[in-house]
Structure 1
Amino acid sequence: MQIITLNVNGVRAAARKGFYQWLPQQSADIVCIQELKAQLPDLSDDILAPAGYHGYFHCALKKGYSGVGIYSRFEPDRVVEGIGVEEIDQEGRYLQADFGNLSVISLYLPSGSSGDHRQASKFFFLDIFLPVLQEMINSGRDIILCGDWNIAHKEIDLKNWRANQKNSGFLPEEREWLSRVFDEIGYVDVFRRLNPAPDQYTWWSNRGQAWTNNVGWRIDYQIATPDVAEKAVEAEIYKESRFSDHAPLIIHYDAL
């Protein structure tokens, strides 16, 4: 099974940049997208259900903001929108599709970079979401959480780590929270299991020559329960075409 995740930074913008021409050329079974910046009436049929895929979406109430989606070649047994917390769910940050014992989740954590009020919302999300992650892993289900977590975990995960230690996305509290997800609860950073190399990033600022010089951050993940992570055999950050300020993260799982 091949799974792709991408923060599209506006799904209509990604469409104009060729994302939906590129997608059929991939062998992806499931595609998770984040930051739709649209409501369902705004979307064309090609975006709502690309050829060969079922499409599911959790849009934000606020127009032009946030939102997540899942495309699947297989119709899921169940789709869950949100985690049951109004303040979080009205921003369209969580969409879960269940296939037998496997749950695939498209997730978009808040960014705190626009000000203290948004950093407070981010910390609120982290506080609420940690026990949700614990409950999910306790359920015994196979789980893959795909998306933009807006946290670079370790120094290797961003180019200019020294200059960003007091900036949202690399704050000590955020990094410690993500360490708890891995070390205490037991989830696995699938990409890092397969690729320990430096200079592997999924997001680049539009300022300066960040993309050209590969001055980026690795903030997009596929995070899985251990049994699922063990089945991951190949990972790629696709950079041949640009559909967004993020790059698609592609992981192939054997025998899922």
Structure 2
Amino acid sequence: MLRISTFNVNGIRAAHRRGFLEWYAARSPDVIALQEVRCPLGALPEGAFAGMHAAYDPGTLAGRNGVAVLTRVPPAAVRAWGPTTHLLAPDGMIEDASTGLEPLARPLREFTAEGRYVEVDLADRPVTVASLYLPKGGLPAHLQKPGSMREAPDGGARYDRKMRFLTGFARQVDASRRRALAAGRDYLLMGDFNIAHAPLDVVNWKRQHRSEGFLPEERAWLDTLIRPRRLHDVVRRLHPDTQGPYSWWSWLGESFTKDTGWRIDLHLATPRLARTALTGCTDRDAARDARVSDHAPVTVDYDV
């Protein structure tokens, strides 16, 4: 069995203070995809990655983004978009790790230094595992109404930027999937997609069609990825008729207590790997004050 988790930690330093290592000890995943690590190499807390080998791209934006894939044994290969990816060993040794992904889809080139994607070939299983932090985006210009938004209207700039990312990433993920299959490997894409795919993935879905993260064009983009012969939504496959299980709740108000969340942290696997999934769930914290992050880890056991 191979236990794999994806976890947006909302800052690895804060997550350590709130109980990241305790979660790891209780669940003991073999592989972990992390997002929003948000920490330069020199500021990582002691034991930041729970004694695992870490392929880590912190990016170059201070206090933002950062993705990693943690494994029990050193990965066979590491690939990422930019030049800032490193392999960290449990003993503290650090080496440059990425062989790069070339050619990179043109729309992704503005994102290469942001720490948004890293993939590794597992050394002990025929699987390529990727960690993604997809831009949150914003609303298109015609939906922006001053006074009804938390952020100042931007004329749709954040929305346009996210759509450029989606266009490029659709090409990139297809290339990574094909590369893995050609090498005799399955492909598993995990991370924070910042998009809820279907009505079961968000509370009060009928009210969300004009909300960022549930816009029709965002959901249609996920449709292009989640297809029978491409990638399967593993947790939805295991829980086809369940509301949720949600993986993100706002820090504000009683969202967590009332379970008014969004399912935006996904395992997307090639069909052969998806069929091996035995169990999958959200590791929801017991109480609001016990939360490690505003996201919960999503853990799946694969019979690989």
- TM-score grouping bracket, smaller chain normalisation: over 0.9
Q: Which residue of 2 aligns with 1:165?
A: 209
Counterpart check, 1:21 vs 2:44: no
Range that drifts further, 170-179 or 133-142: 133-142
How many angstroms apart in 2 are the aligned matches of 1:237 and 1:66? 22
Deviation at 1:28, TM superposition (A): 0.8
Q: Which residue of 1 aligns with 2:253?
A: 208
Q: Which amino acid aligns with 1:90?
A: A
Which residues in structure 2 correspond to 1:125-204 (within 5 Å)? 125-139=165-179, 140=181, 141-183=185-227, 186-196=230-240, 197-204=242-249
Range that drifts further, 123-132 or 180-189: 180-189
Moved over 3 A (4+): 83-86
Q: Which residue of 2 aligns with 1:120?
A: 160
Q: Which residue of 2 aligns with 1:46?
A: 47
How many angstroms apart in 1 are the aligned matches of 2:115 and 2:177? 22
How many angstroms apart in 2 are the aligned matches of 1:144 and 1:61? 26
Q: Which residue of 1 aligns with 2:94?
A: none
Deviation at 1:24, TM superposition (A): 2.3
Asked if the contact 1:56/1:71 (under 8 Å) is kept, the reply is yes
Q: Structure 2-normalised TM-score?
A: 0.79
Asked if the contact 1:202/1:216 (under 8 Å) is kept, the reply is yes
How many angstroms apart in 2 are the aligned matches of 1:204 and 1:37? 19
Deviation at 1:136, TM superposition (A): 2.5
Q: Which residue of 1 aligns with 2:110?
A: 87
How many angstroms apart in 2 are the aligned matches of 1:253 and 1:245? 26
Unaligned runs of 5+ in 2: 82-100, 139-150
Structure 1 counterpart SS, 2:227: helix
Q: Which amino acid aligns with 1:183?
A: R
Q: Which amino acid aligns with 1:122?
A: K
> Residues 131 and 124 of structure 1: is their aligned pair in 2 closer, same or farther, counting only changes over 3 Å?
same
Structure 2 counterpart SS, 1:46: coil
Q: Which amino acid aligns with 1:39?
A: P
Identical-residue share of aligned pairs (%) = 38
Q: Which residue of 1 aligns with 2:276?
A: 231
Q: Which amino acid aligns with 1:228?
A: L
How many angstroms apart in 1 are the aligned matches of 2:209 and 2:128? 34
Deviation at 1:27, TM superposition (A): 2.7
Asked if the contact 2:75/2:120 (under 8 Å) is kept, the reply is yes
Q: Which residue of 2 aligns with 1:61?
A: 60
Q: Which residue of 1 aligns with 2:10?
A: 9
Asked if the contact 1:134/1:185 (under 8 Å) is kept, the reply is no
Structure 2 counterpart SS, 1:223: strand
Structure 2 counterpart SS, 1:205: coil
How many angstroms apart in 2 are the aligned matches of 1:184 and 1:229? 10
Unaligned runs of 5+ in 1: none
How many angstroms apart in 1 are the aligned matches of 2:63 and 2:191? 19
Asked if the contact 1:148/1:219 (under 8 Å) is kept, the reply is yes
Range that drifts further, 37-46 or 12-21: 37-46
Structure 1 counterpart SS, 2:130: strand
Structure 1 counterpart SS, 2:210: coil
Q: Structure 1-normalised TM-score?
A: 0.94
Aligned length: 253
Q: Which residue of 1 aligns with 2:38?
A: 37
